[in-house]
Amino acid sequence: MNKRKKFVSLLLSGALVAGVLAGCSNKEEASGGTKSDEGETITFLIDNQTQLAGIEAVIDGFEEKNNIKVEIETRPGGVEGDNIIKTRLATGDMTDLVWNNSGSQLQALNPEQNFVDLTSEPFMDTIIDGYKEAVSGNGKVFGIPGTPTNAGGWLYNKKVYEELGLTVPTTWDELMANNEKIKEAGKTAVIGTFKDTWTSQVIYLADNYNVLAENPTFAEDFTGNKAKIATTPAALRSFEKLEEVFANGYMNEDFLATGYDAGLKMLADGTGAHYPMITFALANIAANYPDQMQDIGFFPQPSDSADVNGLTVWMPAGIFINKNSEKIDSAKKFLEFYVSQEGIDLYTSVVKPDGPFAIEGVALPEDVYPAVKDMIQYFENGNNAPALEFLSPVKGPNLEQITTQVGSGISTAKEGAELYDKDVEKQAKQLGLEGW
């Protein structure tokens, strides 16, 4: 769901010169790491939908401290870009560094075969465990986070809360009670934007922390066909929450005809109090409604118990080292710098983060969005877990259609869960997963 600005950069001939200088070693020696040469160049393939301002700021700082250049190549996004990566890895024509999604989309690239194992690198000690899981394969960790994290939960208008004397809910019942008071006050309690069907998924997807709190092995069992959504009460509950929002009439009447952009406007101007959403939306709000950014807060999707209160996190894309690179040591130096406090400071000097970094102990700027400050505590206390798609390669392609049906009363929660189990089964068999 992460959509970024486009930028095109051409590969310079200096990379070829550096390749000649470093070309004395063969591929087997390279896979064990080579010493960096002065004045060499490492290459970096990134999709053309990724915002490069923060990345380029880190590159500039790295180049100043090291006599190593970093040249960016870009590729298309989507399926075309995925195929380019697979082809270049297969033909040995891959850059030294590779930008790619974490989670299920990484597994399609056979990371153990194609990327350098970073598990024992000292700079990996600060990367949060949830992110490591999202870039791991066969017990090995292969990447660092390229951007801040996002989270799925509830953006809310603080002015509405102040006006109605509401407090941030820590249970689902408390949230529903807040919704009732907002509805009675004549405002939209929950902004629905099902015209953009992907937004209908958020209540279901944002509940994964709560599912794992009750069933810690659910992601593994789900992947291995040992657990179903419809027959796992905690997972079914995620669909039930979506069903309850509709059944109580908390969404705007025109939620099926309302789109994402209109939903952001409703939240910013306070005509809608809550918007179940992923926090990348903060950048859009800041761009279009900068004067209202201080009014926007965030809380995780509540569970049914105040004792369970945590954040479902969307893990960022990662930076990986091509296993056949001849400049692995220099590439590792870049990764180490990228996740250091100095690297983070350079990144945030030009890009305001829309979530905490998946890195322990780094300080964020004082002027981060209030909603981001609301998220930080869940990283500091460890009460966070990745969304299911970062723990399992299985995500049915028709989920947004199914959540639209449940969220608009066409299907019950149980029926939606059963439909999704069937959807998942088709995809898991296509992936050739064991147990299916």
CA distances to 18, 116, 177, 190 from 409, in Å = 61, 48, 21, 15
pLDDT recorded at residue 100: 94
Q: Is residue 329 part of a domain?
A: yes
Same domain (yes/no): 295, 258: yes
Cα–Cα distance between 431 and 224 in angstroms, integer?
Answer: 12
Mean pLDDT value of segment 137-150: 95
pLDDT recorded at residue 12: 32
Same domain (yes/no): 175, 219: yes
341 CB contacts (<8 Å, ≥6 apart)? 361, 362, 363
Report how many domains make up the chain.
2
Same domain (yes/no): 93, 61: yes
- For residue 305, what is the domain's CATH number? 3.40.190.10
399: tokens are 């989920």
Among 303, 327, 362, the domain boundary falls at 362
Strand ranges inside 316-436, DSSP E: 318-321, 384-386
Q: Is residue 411 part of a domain?
A: yes
Mean pLDDT value of segment 391-413: 94
pLDDT recorded at residue 38: 58
- pLDDT 10s digits, 275-302: 999 999 998 999 899 999 999 999 999 9
pTM for this one?
A: 0.81
Answer for the pair 335, 123: CB distance below 8 angstroms, yes or no.
Answer: yes
Q: Is residue 8 part of a domain?
A: no
Cα–Cα distance between 179 and 182 in angstroms, integer?
Answer: 5
Cα–Cα distance between 429 and 435 in angstroms, integer?
Answer: 9
User: Residue 273 belongs to what domain range?
Assistant: 150-314+376-431
CA distances to 128, 273, 336, 338, 350 from 124, in Å = 9, 40, 8, 11, 25
220: tokens are 């593994």
Alpha helices in 231-280 (DSSP H): 233-247, 260-269
pLDDT for 189 beyond 70: yes
Cα–Cα distance between 215 and 231 in angstroms, integer?
Answer: 12
Q: Is residue 295 part of a domain?
A: yes
- pLDDT 10s digits, 228-251: 999 999 999 999 999 999 999 999
- pLDDT 10s digits, 12-28: 333 333 343 344 344 33
10 CB contacts (<8 Å, ≥6 apart)? 73
Cα–Cα distance between 182 and 204 in angstroms, integer?
Answer: 22
Same domain (yes/no): 84, 96: yes
Looking at mean pLDDT, say which of 39-53, 179-193, 366-380, 383-397 comes out highest.
179-193
Same domain (yes/no): 299, 424: yes
- pLDDT 10s digits, 77-111: 877 988 999 999 999 999 999 999 898 778 778 89
Among 306, 333, 362, the domain boundary falls at 362
Based on the number of CB atoms within 10 Å of its own CB, is 90 exposed (0-12), middle (13-18) or buried (19 or more)? exposed
